[in-house]
Structure 1
Amino acid sequence: MTDWNSLYASRMDGVVASDIRERMKLLAAREIIHLGGGLPDPEIFPYDALSAASQAIWADRALARTALQYAPSEGHGPLRTWIAEYLTRTGSPCGVDNILITNGSQQGLDFIAKLLLSPGDTAMVEIPSFIGALRAFDAYQPRYLGLPEDADDWRAETLSGAKFCYVGPDFRNPTGTTMTLDERNALLDLADTTGMALVEDGCYEQLRYDGAPIPSLLSLAIARHGDIEKIPVLQTGTFSKTIAPSLRVGWIAGPADAIRKLVLIKQASDLATSALNQMLLLEVVKTHLDASIAEACTVYRARRDSMLKALADNMPEAVRWTMPEGGLYVWVELPDHMDATVFAQRALAEHSVSIISGAAFYPAGASNVAVRRNTFRLSFSMIGADPARTGVERLGVLVREMAVV
């Protein structure tokens, strides 16, 4: 019999299952209160707009022929143009040659890692980091370096040598926190000094509920250098959080030379993103994007507020949590002596509440990173006020149980 283990590439040694994706298998178990995953709520998807766009395509044979054919590897031209114009309107002047359409922003992260990382290269990541980004980077066998939490520690003499630094500046996954304007400029200073690239994950940027928007790294870099062709930033974006995730339409924005290299990777990977999905999406965003964003913000703001109130009402004083201005996540810190992995296991087994322990969001083997094992992530995106309160009440009970053991 074939020994498959002996045939796997060495890169597979570091590839592990996502705890979040594994827990998604539990979604059918209705008795479980799901406070961990961050799926968009399907109740707010723009069904009527998508239906109308679909009918318009099928009613026009020329459009239908285009929709059912291979798209260009760069992406559907009118959609790329729309994204470039949208970014320009929102503070990041660019052209169609600066945009590559991807199968969601997750594919964008994989492509960027493939573009920039050789085995043994250093990848810097914020701590803690988005699991999907870490799994995408793992396959290219990097060494990890953690971006210190305090911007005062962002010094070139200790943080040089990385090919890129990955960050999610707005309402980041998993903590829900946001980089200040000063921090964004400090990170650009670090990139300019060290010569590394910045990979900006912009998937939550539009889900702001409080406070004034802060310019993206892409926007700040263009303003600083005067031209997108001169910047050190690649930004990934997506419509999964604002329209619907199953369309799998995202993009990478950056200097045209890097985009051309990424197009070659796209050609070798899957040839092109679905033309039909891109055309459907374009018709919807042209007329309904603002309304979809507004509805998402209204729904998620109320759920965030409910979860924060439930935490305030039910958690002991020793427990702390973040206060996100947007996005989908709250990061909870238990007392120092508690192991959140054990806490998550007991929460599911004994209290039927699913959460994600914080240890899953740390890169393996980072030389300057200490895993904070007393943390876990909550998400409010698909949980109403009443079940969220019940779930948090149960977590509060478990904290008190474990505190006295």
Structure 2
Amino acid sequence: MTVEWEKLFAGRVGGMSASEIRELLKLIAKPEIISFAGGIPDPDLFPAPALSRAYQKVFESNSGPGDALQYTISEGYTPLREWICAYMESKGARIAMDEVLVTSGSQQALDFLGKLFIGPGDLVAVTKPTYLGALQAFSPYEPTYVSIAMDDQGPVLDEVDTALARKPKFLYLVPDFQNPNGITVSLDRRIAIIERCAAAGVAVIEDAAYAELRYDGDSIPSMVALDAERNGGSPATVIHCGSFSKTMVPALRVGWVCGAKDAVQRMVLMKQAADLHTSTINQVVMHDVVSEIFQGHVRRLRDAYKQRRDAMLTALADFAPPGVTWTKPEGGMFVWVELPEGSDGVALLERAIKEANVAFVPGAAFYADRSGKNTLRLAFSVNKPERIREGIRRLCGLLGQGAV
């Protein structure tokens, strides 16, 4: 007799699914493929010299590397948490040390938030579309999703009201240059959402992974800062997820979550059970690097990614056939394309890879209800401008042939 593994798995395992993006990354490793699929930073822009100096400093310090190679507290390396508190205060949110938890990337924070709030059948409000990684993090806890449509200012308020009337546990939102559609939630819409959620007793989870990558327009206060302002300086409704993956490097897996002390302290217990703490030496190195170069390095990223965004928008304007529309993001890493009704992004992807050596992510992956079949996400961050233009030319050539 052998073990029948499927019969032993917990029911929540059925909510787990592979990331379309991760699977695509396996498929499109060939150098001839122009990939607009992975929303990843350009490795040519990683601050490798600063990281090298920081690791060297650890191993050549007078006290030796012992502390950096040792276990540390689950909350995170204290100097890094102090830096995060100062950073958040510079953005308008007064966060205390015991309201910050360093996580293994902000993805771990999303998993902890799912575990903290969601029981089988609980309602969770998300935008339509939303970040695929959030759906992956939340779905194993067996929620029922309430999807909220968006316009160019963010979630549509009438639909927010309808969702809140059903009393979801939280509203998850990427307010700055959203992954996947690049939309930024306007100031008025942010304030209205916070006020409505506070009145309904519904938490807001703000995923701020792209907030520093603004190329045009005026900066808008984060939702956690607006929440703190209306609550006398400290957040009461918004839980904020931050990350160094897009501004520094993803491989160190250093992110954070901050907000109401009661929620964060529960997540500390989850951290203790999950992995004890995020890598000590990676936290030490990250603190050294962000203390030294953060603002200057972010300016460098903005300059490079702005050129790539502009190249993609120009190419779409030059080559896209009639009936195709797209967003014009002020920052981030993504342009969202909408094809004529009845089009199928998955079928287009198959042809694009085979016939044009171009890849992207079909938009249905970003909808909790798997709608949006006529949409695509194009990431511009990792390719140089000339390669972006060539890839868009090829893709639009297929669209012009009625490939959808």
In which range does the TM-score fall when normalised by the shorter chain? over 0.9
Question: Where do 1:78-227 residues align within 5 Å?
Answer: 78-149=79-150, 151-154=156-159, 156=161, 158-160=163-165, 161-227=167-233
Secondary structure of 2:401's aligned partner: helix
Task: Tell me how far 1:157 sits from its aligned partner.
Answer: 5.0
Quote the residue 2:280 is aligned against.
Answer: 275
Aligned residues: 398
How many angstroms apart in 2 are the aligned matches of 1:191 and 1:125?
13
Quote the residue 1:398 is aligned against.
Answer: 398
Task: Tell me how far 1:148 sits from its aligned partner.
Answer: 2.9
Query: Is 1:327 the counterpart of 2:332 in the alignment?
Result: yes
1:236 to 198, 220, 241: 241
How many angstroms apart in 2 are the aligned matches of 1:19 and 1:155?
28
How many angstroms apart in 2 are the aligned matches of 1:401 and 1:159?
44
Greater CA drift, 53-62 or 147-156: 147-156
Counterpart amino acid of residue 135 in structure 1: Q
Quote the residue 2:267 is aligned against.
Answer: 262
Greater CA drift, 388-397 or 323-332: 388-397
Quote the residue 2:67 is aligned against.
Answer: 66
How many angstroms apart in 2 are the aligned matches of 1:155 and 1:19?
28
How many angstroms apart in 2 are the aligned matches of 1:63 and 1:12?
44
CA-atom RMSD in angstroms: 1.4
CA contact (8 A) 1:156 1:194 kept: no
Q: Deviations over 1:172-230 (max 9, x none)?
A: 000011000011011102211211100000000000000010001100000011142x5
How many angstroms apart in 2 are the aligned matches of 1:334 and 1:15?
29
How many angstroms apart in 2 are the aligned matches of 1:86 and 1:152?
30
How many angstroms apart in 2 are the aligned matches of 1:191 and 1:63?
49
How many angstroms apart in 2 are the aligned matches of 1:12 and 1:66?
38
Quote the residue 1:290 is aligned against.
Answer: 295
Counterpart amino acid of residue 371 in structure 1: S
Quote the residue 2:357 is aligned against.
Answer: 352
How many angstroms apart in 2 are the aligned matches of 1:327 and 1:391?
19
Counterpart amino acid of residue 228 in structure 2: I
How many angstroms apart in 2 are the aligned matches of 1:212 and 1:381?
21
Query: Is 1:380 the counterpart of 2:390 in the alignment?
Result: no
Cα distance change on mapping 1:157 and 1:327 into 2, 3 Å: closer
Secondary structure of 1:245's aligned partner: coil
Structure 1 stretches lacking a partner, 5+ long: 365-369
Query: Is 1:7 the counterpart of 2:13 in the alignment?
Result: no
Percent of matched pairs sharing the same residue: 44
CA contact (8 A) 1:154 1:187 kept: no
Greater CA drift, 101-110 or 335-344: 335-344
Quote the residue 1:367 is aligned against.
Answer: none
Task: Tell me how far 1:286 sits from its aligned partner.
Answer: 0.5
How many angstroms apart in 2 are the aligned matches of 1:83 and 1:373?
39
Query: TM-score, normalising length from structure 2?
Result: 0.96
2:310 to 282, 305, 311: 305
Cα distance change on mapping 1:181 and 1:194 into 2, 3 Å: same
Quote the residue 1:340 is aligned against.
Answer: 345
Q: Deviations over 1:260-318 (max 9, x none)?
A: 11100100111000010000000000010011101110110000011111111110121
Counterpart amino acid of residue 359 in structure 1: A
How many angstroms apart in 1 are the aligned matches of 2:174 and 2:341?
26
How many angstroms apart in 1 are the aligned matches of 2:201 and 2:78?
32
Cα distance change on mapping 1:63 and 1:182 into 2, 3 Å: farther
Query: Runs of 4+ in structure 1 displaced over 4 angstroms?
Result: none
How many angstroms apart in 1 are the aligned matches of 2:120 and 2:352?
38
